[in-house]
């Protein structure tokens, strides 16, 4: 039976954001979770590596450091849960970002109370890594971006997808018209996924909807601006940005992969699972419940001190 590890929230709240990960309880919890989930003894090595990455990320993006201490703590433990790294060299696997979320409480005027919460955003390359580790696929080639003038033909014959592609050299246009990716399944069968111009426009519209704002004058929600990378390439989509989108949306029809509670992926989210974050709450302070998705309200009940451990059953379940 693993020993109980307690992390007191009032202690974390008293620390600067960059020092949260240096707390002894946080260190022990990260190492315990990493070793239990991944069946390894590399937890301590990974802990020290991710402390450096976490602190560097907050120094480079101090706005994220103003997020709630609970969410920053949860994000750090999610690195252990997801088995990824915050290393930003090469093709980053994930980032830590922040956004304003409803707490589920009302102020004295009856308005919703919001707070800034951090979350782990998994990139396409991170999702690819997680799916390979989960045994869903053997590997996938790097996405291919198709430009105007290239020979490109996507087909489906007797249920089998196929791509014909030949790049025009030298290129006569920088206009991006499509992208595709080749995936090799564990049985060595090949799957192709692609995004055409219509798909890119659809994703751009989703970005506009995500950035929509309420207009007090018209009393209606109006579309916002899409991510600038949709138009940064002479009015078209940035090729590197499209590569990342291609990886993410290639797996829309694939089984879900496990993620931590403070992790967000572009594809379907993992069903709600109970992740042990080992928190012992201050009885006088109402803390957010990590098992409630961002933006959803919770019941106003008096919090109770919590003491949680990674038990033998937890280890058998992968937690």
pLDDT tens digit sequence for 11-42 = 999 999 999 999 999 999 999 999 999 999 99
Please indicate, yes or no, whether residues 125 and 214 belong to a single structural domain of this protein: no
Please indicate, yes or no, whether residues 129 and 266 belong to a single structural domain of this protein: yes
| Overall number of domains in the chain | 2
Q: pTM for the whole thing?
A: 0.70
Residue 106 lies in a domain: yes
Please indicate, yes or no, whether residues 289 and 232 belong to a single structural domain of this protein: no
Please indicate, yes or no, whether residues 93 and 141 belong to a single structural domain of this protein: no
Please indicate, yes or no, whether residues 238 and 287 belong to a single structural domain of this protein: no
* Residues above pLDDT 70, as percent of the chain: 82
* Better-scored residue on pLDDT, 1 or 265: 265
pLDDT, tens digit (0-9, with 9 covering 90-100), for 234-256: 999 999 999 989 988 898 888 88
* Residues above pLDDT 90, as percent of the chain: 56
What the block records as the tokens of 27 is: 């260190």
Last residue of a domain, one of 250, 278, 295: 250
Query: DSSP secondary-structure letter at 307?
Result: -
pLDDT, tens digit (0-9, with 9 covering 90-100), for 153-188: 999 999 899 999 999 999 999 999 999 999 999 899
Using an 8 Å Cβ cutoff, are 123 and 241 in contact?
no
Query: DSSP secondary-structure letter at 260?
Result: -
Please indicate, yes or no, whether residues 99 and 242 belong to a single structural domain of this protein: no
With a cut of 60, say whether residue 294 has pLDDT above it: no
Please indicate, yes or no, whether residues 231 and 275 belong to a single structural domain of this protein: no
Residue 27 lies in a domain: yes
Residue 2 lies in a domain: no
Please indicate, yes or no, whether residues 41 and 127 belong to a single structural domain of this protein: yes
- Residue 231 CA to residue 228 CA, distance in Å, equals 6
- Residue 207 CA to residue 180 CA, distance in Å, equals 21
What is the extent of the structural domain holding 58? 7-133+256-317
With a cut of 90, say whether residue 262 has pLDDT above it: no
Please indicate, yes or no, whether residues 111 and 123 belong to a single structural domain of this protein: yes
Strand ranges inside the chain, DSSP E: 7-8, 94-106, 112-122, 137-140, 144-147, 151-157, 160-166, 176-185, 190-196, 213-215, 220-222, 263-264, 279-280
Last residue of a domain, one of 205, 234, 250: 250
pLDDT, tens digit (0-9, with 9 covering 90-100), for 273-282: 445 566 655 5
- Residue 274 CA to residue 280 CA, distance in Å, equals 16
Q: Residue 269 has what pLDDT?
A: 36
pLDDT, tens digit (0-9, with 9 covering 90-100), for 183-200: 999 899 999 999 999 999
Please indicate, yes or no, whether residues 72 and 110 belong to a single structural domain of this protein: yes
Residue 1 lies in a domain: no
Residue 101 lies in a domain: yes
Helices (H), 89-192: 124-133
Please indicate, yes or no, whether residues 167 and 202 belong to a single structural domain of this protein: yes
The whole-angstrom distance between residue 70's C-alpha and the CA centroid of its chain comes to 17
Please indicate, yes or no, whether residues 50 and 181 belong to a single structural domain of this protein: no
Last residue of a domain, one of 250, 274, 296: 250
């Amino acid at each position: 039976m693993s020993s109980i590890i307690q992390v007191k929230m009032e202690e974390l709240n008293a620390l600067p954001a960059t020092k949260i990960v240096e707390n002894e309880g946080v260190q022990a919890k990260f190492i315990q979770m990493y070793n239990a989930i991944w069946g390894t003894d590399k937890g301590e090595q990974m802990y020290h590596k991710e402390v450096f990455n976490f602190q560097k990320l907050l120094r480079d993006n101090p706005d994220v450091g103003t997020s709630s201490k609970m969410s920053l703590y949860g994000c750090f433990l999610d690195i252990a849960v997801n088995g990824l790294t915050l290393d930003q060299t090469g093709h980053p696997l994930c980032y830590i970002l922040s956004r304003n979320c409803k707490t589920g409480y009302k102020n004295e005027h009856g308005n919703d109370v919001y707070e800034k919460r951090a979350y782990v955003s998994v990139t396409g390359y991170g999702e690819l890594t997680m799916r390979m580790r989960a045994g869903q696929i053997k590997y996938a080639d790097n996405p291919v971006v198709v430009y105007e003038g290239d020979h490109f033909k996507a087909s489906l014959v007797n249920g089998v997808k196929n791509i014909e592609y030949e790049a025009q050299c030298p290129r006569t246009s920088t206009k991006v018209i499509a992208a595709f990716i080749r995936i090799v399944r564990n049985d060595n069968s090949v799957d192709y996924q692609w995004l055409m111009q219509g798909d890119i426009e659809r994703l751009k519209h989703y970005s506009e909807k995500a950035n929509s704002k309420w207009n007090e004058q018209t009393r209606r929600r109006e579309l916002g601006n899409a991510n600038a990378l949709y138009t940064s390439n002479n009015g078209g989509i940035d090729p590197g940005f499209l590569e990342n989108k291609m990886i993410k949306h290639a797996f829309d029809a694939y089984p879900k992969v496990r993620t931590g509670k403070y992790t967000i992926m572009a594809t379907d989210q993992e069903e709600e699972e109970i992740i042990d974050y080992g928190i012992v709450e201050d009885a006088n302070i109402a803390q957010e419940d990590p098992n409630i998705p961002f933006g959803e309200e919770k019941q106003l009940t008096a919090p109770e001190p919590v003491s949680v451990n990674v038990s033998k059953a937890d280890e058998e379940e992968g937690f």
